[in-house]
Amino acid sequence: MALLDEALHLEGNQLLQPGKVLLVKDCVATSGAFILTHLIKKILSGSSDSVVWSKASGQKVLQSGLVLFVGLSEPFTHYERIARKLGFNLSAYRDNGQFIFIDGLHLECKGSIGAMTENALIELYKSIHQTLYGCITLEGNMGCNCIVIDDVSLLEIAAHGSEDLVLDFLHYCRILSLEMGCSLVLLSHQDIYASQSDSRFIKHLEYFADMMIDVEPLNSGIATDVHGQITVIHRTSQEDGINSGEGNSPRNMVSNFHFRIKENLVQYFPPGKQF
């Protein structure tokens, strides 16, 4: 776990600054769902021992993180089972209001591309907006809050392939996350975009993201003791490059390592390490 946290530059339960976007890209052969679970656990359980002084109440309070999860690919029970294997109770966090699950499994933008499709995405956005405003209080904003969407490729399918409407929807989600002190985490399957024209959407998502995690099979093929590789990319802005003395050419920070999924944990290790 430490290797992944180090690559993500995680400090405590802090994932990203408000308004920043993390894109997780996976494929059918190598799912990145365990990355989402790791991030959720980090945000939720990492906040339980953090105590801050509240000016509003005049006393010490827990610095609680909050995750709003839009599930487009699996029901809540699926994520709950994975969480239990990794040692935490997602139902308990849901019951105390730290984990909020919006079921988008049956989301369907009925009708042709146009008003009907747009209205469905507007209703989904309204649900996210109202839920956040109803749950994030002055106290809650002191923690690390996050919106997670799994997965964005299904959102495009529900919108009948209208990538412009989906990108507009994500843009508004990003603005909302900035206003509410949240980061935004997106998961998308990259291997469903076979042709060059189909891949435009994933390219838009990559441009949209401040950090990317690629979860892929090994380049050398299937191995019994290694299930895949992870590449973490931190995109540095031009301003960041100037401030760090690198001139006007921004440079991405890249980390690469392998992983192995076991029954109750995921192991991360540098390429070439033997067990």
Rounded average pLDDT over 15-36:
86
CA distance 155 to 165: 10
**For residue 210, what pLDDT band results from cuts at 50, 70 and 90?**
very high
Q: Please determine, for residue 212, whether its predicted confidence score (pLDDT) is greater than 90.
A: yes
Report the pLDDT value the prediction gives residue 104, as an integer from 0 to 100.
84
Q: Has this prediction a pTM greater than 0.75?
A: yes
Residues near 245 by Cβ (< 8 Å), separated by ≥ 6? none
List b or e across 118-130, with b for residues whose CB sees 16 or more CB atoms inside 10 angstroms. bebbeebbeebee
Question: In terms of DSSP bridges, do strands 182-189 and 21-26 run parallel, antiparallel, or are they unpaired?
Answer: parallel
Which run of H or E residues covers position 171? helix 163-179
Q: What is the DSSP string of 90-124?
A: HHHHHHTTSEEEEE-TT----SSTTHHHHHHHHHH
129: Cβ–Cβ under 8 A, 6 or more apart, which residues? Answer: 176
Check whether 60 has a pLDDT greater than 60. no
pLDDT in tens, 231-272: 999 887 544 443 444 444 446 788 899 888 888 888 888 887
Give the model's pLDDT for residue 64: 58
Model pLDDT, residue 49? 43
How would you classify the pairing of strands 211-216 and 182-189? unpaired
Report which secondary-structure segment, H or E, holds 76.
helix 76-85
Domain ranges of the chain: 2-9+16-47+61-269
Q: CA 5, 242, 250, 26 torsion: positive or negative?
A: positive
Cα–Cα distance measured from residue 214 to residue 225, given in angstroms and rounded to the nearest whole number: 19
Taking CA atoms, 119 is separated from 17, 169, 177, in Å, by: 30, 11, 21
Give the per-residue pLDDT at 12: 56
The winner for highest mean pLDDT among 14-18, 115-119, 187-191, 244-248 is 187-191
Q: Tell the CATH topology of 2-9+16-47+61-269.
A: Rossmann fold (3.40.50)
- What's the rounded Cα separation, in Å, for the pair 111 and 131? 27
Percentage, residues of the chain above pLDDT 70: 72
Q: At what angle do helices 200-208 and 163-179 cross, to 10 degrees?
A: 10
